[in-house]
């Protein structure tokens, strides 16, 4: 990947631009800019001052840093000059009330209360198999995974790996299996996902002419057995952000057990820097997880390293891609 090649990062941020309205409106609703101006410069201090959850405060801070209205320096946060001038309550030119007003126009009216509570207001979240969200999203995001799956295949030299077995947990559209089986005619792949989602994957694999080497396990990956020492490569793509720390560790441990000795786990997700200063898309995406999931978020490199080590992986490497996502290889 060279510096002159186009990437989808800016387009992805524009597509998700409504989150700028939501994050600014929710922050203004809880007077975050006013509290920052008064010296509440960390997530825990801001949460205490505003009377909101620390998870909610950190998520808003991530988004505000991404939007360029809050700065992170030396582990503490402060308003930019623009935010200090136009978003602090009580100042003559304050647009705080206007930011709150626009929330209703963006369909994000629940976000201020979600920030206060630290998660969704009801039990109706995305992590249920009968949510129509999944059928729409797995096909919509498949294109994002194409370049990432190719980079992973190149890194692992899958095209020349011979007779290998692949496990794709929560594989959605089946795009990893489609690409990897297309590159390696001796490989076989198994996808674990809910039945309606696996049906989508089967159609894609049939269209690609590799369905004869593709099988599905219908079920919930939290409770379904992955098997023991059965696979050479396992994939965990865009799952970690919807799971909390404990579930990620548990799933990584199950994946470690499912891999043959010397096997590789491939994780693909929106990963934030350890100091939570970037990248922009990963920071702003945390707000979607706060609104729609009970425990999810965008996790730091240090989080993945700690979780994977706890699950039994000894060698963990990170690789940037041509998308907003980061690849993690664990052995």
The CATH number of whichever domain residue 111 belongs to comes to 1.10.10.10
Domain end call among 117, 147, 164? 117
Residue 222 C-alpha from the chain's centroid = 18
Report the alpha-carbon distance of residue 98 to residue 102 in Å, rounded.
6
Give the residue among 243, 297, 235, 303 at the shortest CA–CA distance from 266.
235
- Residues making up the chain, counted from first to last: 331
3-state secondary structure of 270: coil
Total structural domains within the chain? 2
**pLDDT: which is higher, 2 or 29:** 29
Q: pLDDT of 165-196, one tens digit each?
A: 999 999 999 999 999 999 999 999 999 999 99
Looking at the structure, tell me whether residues 97 and 155 fall in a common domain: no
Three-class HEC string of 207-251: HCCCHHHEEEEECCCCCCCCCCCCEEEEEEECCHHHCCHHHHHHH
Report the alpha-carbon distance of residue 287 to residue 16 in Å, rounded.
11
Mean pLDDT score, 99-120? 88
Looking at the structure, tell me whether residues 306 and 187 fall in a common domain: yes
Residue 128 pLDDT: 54
Q: By the 8 A CB rule, do 296 and 243 touch?
A: yes
Residue 13 pLDDT: 83
Q: Domain span at residue 65?
A: 9-117
Mean pLDDT score, 124-135? 58
Looking at the structure, tell me whether residues 138 and 65 fall in a common domain: no
Number of H helices, E strands in the chain: 15, 9
Q: How confident is the model at residue 125 (pLDDT cuts 50, 70, 90)?
A: low
Is the pLDDT confidence value at 2 over 60? no
Residue 134 pLDDT: 67
**pTM of structure:** 0.86
Bridge partners of 168, per DSSP, are 191, 235
- Calculate what percentage of the chain has a pLDDT beyond 90: 81
* Residue 37 falls inside a structural domain: yes
Three-class HEC string of 20-36: HHHHHHHHHHCCHHHHH
Looking at the structure, tell me whether residues 191 and 241 fall in a common domain: yes
Residue 10 pLDDT: 84
* Residue 125 falls inside a structural domain: no
Residue 227 pLDDT: 96
Which of 57-66, 104-113, 285-294, 310-319 shows the lowest mean pLDDT across its residues? 104-113
Which of 55-59, 126-130, 209-213, 258-262 shows the lowest mean pLDDT across its residues? 126-130
Cα torsion for 131, 135, 140, 146, to the nearest 10°? 120
Q: By the 8 A CB rule, do 128 and 220 touch?
A: no
Residue 130 pLDDT: 59
Looking at the structure, tell me whether residues 73 and 21 fall in a common domain: yes
Looking at the structure, tell me whether residues 82 and 137 fall in a common domain: no
* Residue 122 falls inside a structural domain: no
CATH of residue 170: 3.40.50.150
Q: pLDDT of 242-274, one tens digit each?
A: 999 999 999 999 999 999 999 999 999 999 999
* Residue 2 falls inside a structural domain: no
Report the alpha-carbon distance of residue 68 to residue 61 in Å, rounded.
10
């Amino acid at each position: 990947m060279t510096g002159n090649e186009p990437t989808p990062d800016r387009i992805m941020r524009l597509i998700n631009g409504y989150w700028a309205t939501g994050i600014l409106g929710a922050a203004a609703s809880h007077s975050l800019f006013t509290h920052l101006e008064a010296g509440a410069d960390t997530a825990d201090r801001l949460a205490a001052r505003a009377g909101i959850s620390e998870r909610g405060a950190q998520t808003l801070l991530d988004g505000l840093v991404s939007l360029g209205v809050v700065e992170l320096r030396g582990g503490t946060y402060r308003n930019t000059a623009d935010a200090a001038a136009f978003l602090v309550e009580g100042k003559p030119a304050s647009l705080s009330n206007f930011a709150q007003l626009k929330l209703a126009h963006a369909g994000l009216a629940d976000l201020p209360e979600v920030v206060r509570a630290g998660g969704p207001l009801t039990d109706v979240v995305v992590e249920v198999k009968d949510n129509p969200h999944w059928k729409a999203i797995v096909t919509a995001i498949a294109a994002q995974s194409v370049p990432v799956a190719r980079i992973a295949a190149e890194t692992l030299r899958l095209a020349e790996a011979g007779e290998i077995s692949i496990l794709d947990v929560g594989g959605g559209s089946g795009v990893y299996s489609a690409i990897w089986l297309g590159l390696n005619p001796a490989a076989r792949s198994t996808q674990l996902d809910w039945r309606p989602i696996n049906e989508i994957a089967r159609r894609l694999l049939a269209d690609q002419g590799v369905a004869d080497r593709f099988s599905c396990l219908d079920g919930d990956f939290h409770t379904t057995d992955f098997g023991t020492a059965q696979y050479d490569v396992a994939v965990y793509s865009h799952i970690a952000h919807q799971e909390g720390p404990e579930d990620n560790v548990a799933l990584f441990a199950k994946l470690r057990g499912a891999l043959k000795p010397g096997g590789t786990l491939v994780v693909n997700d929106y990963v934030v820097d350890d100091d939570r200063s970037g990248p922009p898309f990963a920071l702003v995406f945390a707000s979607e997880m706060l609104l729609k999931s009970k425990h999810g978020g965008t996790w730091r490199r240090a989080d993945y390293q700690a979780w994977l080590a706890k699950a039994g992986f000894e060698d963990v490497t990170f690789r940037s891609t041509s998308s907003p996502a980061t690849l993690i290889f664990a052995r």
